[in-house]
Amino acid sequence: MSMQLVPVELCKGINGLEKVVLREVRGFSAEVYLYGGHVTSWKNEHGEELLFVSSKANFKPPKPIRGGIPICFSQFSNLGSLEQHGFARNRLWSVDTDPPPFPTTSSNKAFIDLILKPTEEDMKIWPHSYEFRLRVTLGPGGDLMLTSRVRNTNTDGKPFSFTFAYHTYFSVSDISEVRVEGLETLDYLDNLQNRERFTEQGDAITFESEVDKIYLSTPTKIAILDHEKKRTFVIRKDGLPDAVVWNPWDKKAKAMADFGDDEYKYMLCVEAAAIEKPITLKPGEEWKGRQELSAVPSSYCSGQLDPQKVLQSS
Ligand code: BG6
């Protein structure tokens, strides 16, 4: 008798924190912690982990989890008066049992809806009423989709503005073997040089030292080519014009308590974001920001994959 697959399971994760496990028939899986509304795992059909989570990550509130997909809301980085990257990544989200319908219905079974609303304490640091709905879906082909819907529910008639990022940590075989395609010739703000504006020159982005850049008005598709693993990650995004590329490299890695000294070699953050132009919502208005991740086998060196084709295909 064949075992019945449970596509969505709520269970206990590290340190007893609640997590949701999503499973697809072909063996793909993903895990989402209610703490932070934080995706901490995305595995392919061979059980290989596609996201990076530090071996030193704290799964202990109020520290955010180092790795996976932290949600940066309502502030990216230190661009405002809130704590670094805002508060959503260290709040306890709830399962949303009755989310408003999406305009398009899909037959996906492996998805979970989470919701974050402010407490009275939260209102003291960001005096706005909102509903943040996050849907995490594992597609039948293993794609991982995150859709955020933020609604202004202020009753005082006031609009609010926010910046946002899906701070995705991708697992890579060796950072020096990785290139990012799709950001060539774009303008960026360099976080390592007082956020001065520069224009990217030349070819795809490769890595040989610390990188911390906010690329502006980027295309909706970005590819991360991992030659050694023969794997390409494709990020498709909607409602998120910017893209942050971050690798701390050796010195910053050593300075982070929740990150191994050598782990910078095995990760790369490419973050679908809305930073340069904050999103403003009037009461009753809703914003939607979506990212879809896929991991495809590639053999760029042997010419099987033309990165331009990856970027141009729909
Ligand atoms: C990136 C920022 O998005 O996140 C970096 O561009 C920052 O400047 C990095 O160092 C990590 O931030 P944190 O708060 O998770 O250590």
Q: What is the DSSP string of 150-218?
A: EEE--SSS--EEEEEEE--EEE-S-GGGEEEES-TT-EEEEGGGTTEEEE--SSSB--SS-EEEEE-S-
pLDDT at 298: 85
User: How far, in Å, from the CA of 32 to the mean position of ligand 1?
Assistant: 21
Residues 6 or more apart in contact with residue 95 via CB below 8 angstroms: 10, 20, 34, 112, 113, 114, 115
151 annotated to bind ligand: no
Question: Which atom of ligand 1 lies closest to the CA of 271?
Answer: 3
pLDDT, average across residues 22-36: 97
Question: pLDDT tens across 255-313, in order?
Answer: 999 999 999 999 999 999 999 999 999 999 999 999 999 999 985 443 444 555 555 55
> Using CA positions, which residue lies closest to atom 10 of ligand 1?
248
Distance CA 167, CA 85 (A): 9
Distance CA 21, CA 9 (A): 5
The neighbour count for residue 101, using CB atoms within 10 Å, is 6
pLDDT at residue 46 greater than cutoff 70: yes
User: How far, in Å, from the CA of 191 to the mean position of ligand 1?
Assistant: 10
Q: What residues flank ligand 1, with Cβ below 6 Å?
A: 77, 84-85, 167, 191, 212, 244, 246, 271
User: How do beta strands 231-238 and 242-247 pair?
Assistant: unpaired
pLDDT at 292: 98
What's the predicted TM-score (pTM) here? 0.94
Catalytic residue list contains 227: no
User: How far, in Å, from the CA of 98 to the mean position of ligand 1?
Assistant: 33
pLDDT at 203: 86
**140 — phi, psi (to 5°)?**
-60, -25
Catalytic residue list contains 167: yes
Please give the structure tokens belonging to residue 303. 């010419």
Cα-Cα end-to-end distance for the chain: 40
What is the residue-averaged pLDDT of the chain? 94
Residue of 167, 181, 227, 292 marked catalytic: 167
Output the CA–CA distances (angstroms, integers) from residue 28 to 5, 7, 140, 249, in the order listed: 12, 10, 8, 30
